[in-house]
Structures are given as C-alpha cells and as structure tokens.
Amino acid sequence: MTCLRGTDWPNKTRNLRITTADGESLGAWFVLSDPFYHSLPAIPSQPTDHIPAALKIYPQFSSSTGTPPPRVYTGTPTEAGLARDARAAWNWLIANGATADQILIVGHSLGTGASALLTAKLSDEGITARGVVLLSPFSSLSKVLETCKILGVVPLLRPLAMIP
C-alpha cells in the first residue's frame, strides 16, 4: 500500500448516529486508527465493514469542542445531558465489540469535563477503562466561555444568544 498523507486517507472515517438514553440523536465520527488503516490490504470501500476488527485493536472514546455539543441546538445543555451523551458513545463502543479495559477515554478542552464525568460514573459502577487522557483541560468554566469558539470563529455562547 502506498504511504498516504493525512488528507489522502479515503474511507478512514464513518459518520454515525448514536441514540442517547433520553432519545437524543447524536452525530459522531468513527475514525479508523492510523496503524489499523495502514494494516489493511487495500483502501476500504466501507469503513463500517472494519469497525468490529478496529475496535478489538484500537478502541477509543474522544470528547472535544471542535463542534458544539448536540444539545446546544436541540435543547438546554446540562451536566446530566453531557453525561448521557458521553455514556451513549461509551455504550456504542461496547455494543460494537470493544471491552472496557481496551477503551482509552480522551477529552480535549471542554470535552475534558465530559470525559472526566464519564470516567467517574464508570468508576462508581466498578468499570475501569484502559485509561483517561485530558488534553488542554480548562481551569474555569467562565474562561472557557470567554475564549472557546465554534470552528475557531463563532464565540461558544453566540448560538445561545439567538434563543429568546
């Protein structure tokens, strides 16, 4: 297989819909890990076909602020709602073949809160993930609200200001 650059990796990502316990539908991405993708004999025609095998080798939950949380547009964001969203993603990984001891929970920026909350709730249930990685965690929520921007442009709270 020819070595591909990061932007030349066709069919490495699959868009998913994950349903939460309270009936919300979350948009998510499943991304085949680099080592797994490059181990395939050819570029996959459907990433979905490789999800079970990929999960057995490189499962990971990731929470980020690259896009606004789904509940920003569909309701009022709450800690409980974000916890349900994170748990729905965890449950999706488990339902698709991953085991708790294989899953690395990764949170970035505002997503570190959801990742830490998921980890705490799992711990309360006696479930241990492979590990937790918090990248650029926030030091205060007010600072996040002042500095975070959707897609690097729109201030995080701007969409909420349009709601009467």
Q: Are 115 and 134 in contact (CB under 8 A)?
A: yes
For residue 156, pLDDT beyond 70: no
For residue 108, pLDDT beyond 80: yes
**What CA–CA distances, in Å, run from 65 to 18, 19, 99, 102, 150?**
18, 19, 26, 24, 8
Residue of 92 and 34 predicted with greater confidence: 92
The whole-number pLDDT of residue 112 equals 85
> Could you state, in order of their start, the residue ranges of all structural domains in the chain?
59-164
Q: Are 75 and 104 in contact (CB under 8 A)?
A: no
Q: What is the pTM of this model?
A: 0.70
